Amino acid sequence: MTLSTFGVLVLGLALLVAGAEILVRGASRIALMLGLSPLVIGLTIVAYGTSSPELVVSLQSAFANQADIALGNVVGSNIFNVLFILGVSSLVTPLVVAQQLIRLDVPIMIGVSGLVWMFGADGKLSHVDGAILALGSILYTAFLIIQSRKESNREVQSEYEQEYGKPIQGSLPQTLFQIGYIVVGLGLLVLGSRWLVESSVAIARSLGLNELVIGLTLVAAGTSLPELATSVIASYRGERDIAVGNVIGSNIFNILAVLGFSALLSPSGIAVSPSALHFDVPVMFAVALFCLPVFITGRLISRWEGLLFMVYYVAYTCYLVLDAMHHESLDFFSRILWLVVIPATVLAVGLSFLPSFRKSS
């Protein structure tokens, strides 16, 4: 690995983040000019925009016949979004979880995560699998728009207005200017994704790591930087609905749209390696499932739960690195996870239900 290769990777990440920010800004302003509510913008355009790096990188990887990066990018991003981003954000301030997330969005996230696991059981996400997921993204977006128009909670509405502004009247020059923002943002995303994928593959080969590990860690964390910035800033400002909703919405979009369109448009679908099928995809499903009991208890992600999320992410990353290096301590590390960490977590979550149970009794 040369210094120039690492420099290209950093520059690619920077272009991805800048491109996503410019794209979201331009699209949000046009949406406001068209009279869309800030709530609709936050739930759809912003969630989709912050996931645009994952979409472009996965499409780029799928067309370059680098399926491990295409799949690892989405799976790793979803794990990173929940464990690291919600972990960091809840350390800034405990995060309030909206009732709709518990009743609808988290179950959808669990369901589509399980769907990917089922579709990949034959070792491939086919064009038909991709079409089903892509159609799901369209239906989910339409449902969000319909539901958001029925939102009557003024506190939720004002939170989104504070973040994204109120509908405005725009002239033709202003509209053209914002369209220019979108074009520039897309251009930066395409260029950044190409540099990121090419440099990541080069680094993986020079370090003797497989492309799946690079996709699950380096590429996944890099493409999730827009979600990280959005959620951490929102939690710092006290916009705690946005902080959690952005992560859950992006995870659903990653699976339905990013994986869906990547599998649909790639020449031969996306291959699912045995290691991804037997470990990483189940971990993504388990992380999505773990959100439900954590969110239900008090409808709050407390600081200790956020710290627990971060510990899990560090443990997951350590496991990937040890496994890739075929390190002799991997077996001991795995036993610690299965015999100590996971049972302790289950016990802690169970105990957190006690106050609610006693109250209902």
Is residue 347, in this structure, part of any structural domain at all?
no
The answer to whether 164 touches 28, Cβ cutoff 8 Å, is yes
pLDDT in tens, 314-348: 989 888 888 877 778 878 777 777 766 667 666 66
Regions in the chain scoring below 50 on pLDDT: none
The answer to whether 289 touches 83, Cβ cutoff 8 Å, is no
Provide CB contacts within 8 A for 93, sequence distance 6+: 235, 236, 238, 240
**DSSP per-residue string spanning 131-200:** HHHHHHHHHHHHHHHHHHHT---HHHHHHHHHHH-------HHHHHHHHHHHHHHHHHHHHHHHHHHHHH
Please give the residue range of the domain that contains residue 297.
3-327
Is residue 42, in this structure, part of any structural domain at all?
yes
Length of the chain in terms of residues written? 361
End-to-end CA distance of the chain: 62
The answer to whether 90 touches 301, Cβ cutoff 8 Å, is yes
Is residue 247, in this structure, part of any structural domain at all?
yes
Which pLDDT does position 349 carry in this prediction?
62
What is the C-alpha to C-alpha distance for residues 250 and 218, in angstroms, rounded to an integer? 18
pLDDT in tens, 78-119: 999 999 999 999 998 888 888 878 888 899 999 999 999 999
The number of folded domains in the chain is 1
Provide CB contacts within 8 A for 284, sequence distance 6+: 75, 78, 79, 113, 116
Is residue 360, in this structure, part of any structural domain at all?
no
Is residue 354, in this structure, part of any structural domain at all?
no
The answer to whether 217 touches 320, Cβ cutoff 8 Å, is yes
Is residue 352, in this structure, part of any structural domain at all?
no
Question: Encoding tokens for residue 20?
Answer: 């996503």
Which pLDDT does position 259 carry in this prediction?
93
The CATH number given to whatever domain includes residue 132 is 1.20.1420.30
pLDDT in tens, 151-175: 666 766 676 666 666 666 667 777 7
Residue 96 backbone dihedrals phi, psi, to 5 degrees:
-80, 135
**DSSP per-residue string spanning 41-62:** IIIIIIHHHHTHHHHHHHHHHH
Is residue 338, in this structure, part of any structural domain at all?
no
Is residue 224, in this structure, part of any structural domain at all?
yes
